[in-house]
Amino acid sequence: MRIGILGGTFDPIHHGHLFIAEDARARLGLDCVLITPNGVPPHKKPYSVSPAEHRLRMVELAVGRSSTLIADDSEVRHAGPSYTVETLRALRRREPGSDFWFITGMDAVAEIASWREPDEVLRLCHMVAVSRPGHSAADFERAVPASLRDRIELLPTPEIGISSTDIRARVAAGLPIRYLTPDAVVEYIHHHSLYRGA
């Protein structure tokens, strides 16, 4: 199997995430893409992030019955911070014989040098970086040492100016978020009064 993984906080998931997962799946010929919300994100302050169960549920609602985009609870099930290297090791144990493509936005991949065991991460998967507005390939080249950069595939995609940060701010300001994220996620956010005080 050729398996994609889109890791992130997904607080909340939005159409930018869904589009890059689907585009990478089609263009890289992947069988499926796992969308994997992290438990306690190592790079974010835990207290400011919504509980994992909400973030996972919103991913489940967003993918619906898709057979190729799959909500993956492997990181939220295990306690403590989620490191990509550990997630990849666990996946390779679970799916021996499969190959893995880790999908990142240009902003996230620019920080790869600060991830735990970046060399090992790049040995365990194919790393793919998609376009994100405000984060150019030139910024990426400046931020990432050539020894890592040369092993990362850039996959130019249409730039989608949607972020979870903006969605949270819009909810707090009483602005609409419909069409930025699937309707079921919009309903979930309102039903659970998420992001009101963000």
CB count in 10 Å sphere of residue 31 = 13
Closest among 113, 154, 117, 122 to 136, alpha carbons compared: 154
In angstroms, the CA 60 to CA 167 distance is: 18
> Of these, 63, 88, 162, 185, which contacts ligand ATP (CB under 6 A)?
162
Burial letters 86-96, b for 16+ CB under 10 A, else e: bbbeebbeeee
Q: Which amino acid is at 114?
A: S
Written as one string, the DSSP assignment of 36-71 is: EE-SB-TTS-GGGSPPHHHHHHHHHHHHTT-SSEEE
How many residues contact ligand ATP, by CB under 6 A? 18
User: Which position's Cβ is nearest ligand ATP?
Assistant: 105
> Of these, 8, 39, 118, 182, which contacts ligand ATP (CB under 6 A)?
8
> Of these, 4, 5, 16, 76, which contacts ligand ATP (CB under 6 A)?
16
> Of these, 164, 182, 186, 194, which contacts ligand ATP (CB under 6 A)?
164
Query: Which residue, 93 or 158, has its beta carbon nearer to ligand ATP?
Result: 158
Using a CB cutoff of 8 Å and minimum separation of 24, what contacts does 43-52 make? 43/111, 43/114, 44/9, 49/9, 49/11, 50/11, 50/12, 50/194, 50/195, 52/76
Query: Which residue, 97 or 132, has its beta carbon nearer to ligand ATP?
Result: 132
- Residue 165 C-beta: closest distance to ligand ATP, Å: 3
Query: Which residue, 16 or 182, has its beta carbon nearer to ligand ATP?
Result: 16
Q: Does 87 bind ligand ATP (CB under 6 A)?
A: no
Give me the 56-75 binding string for ligand ATP, x by CB under 6 A, dash otherwise: --------------------
> Of these, 4, 5, 11, 82, which contacts ligand ATP (CB under 6 A)?
11
Residues that bind ligand ATP (CB under 6 A): 8-11, 16-17, 20, 104-105, 107-108, 130, 132, 160, 162-165
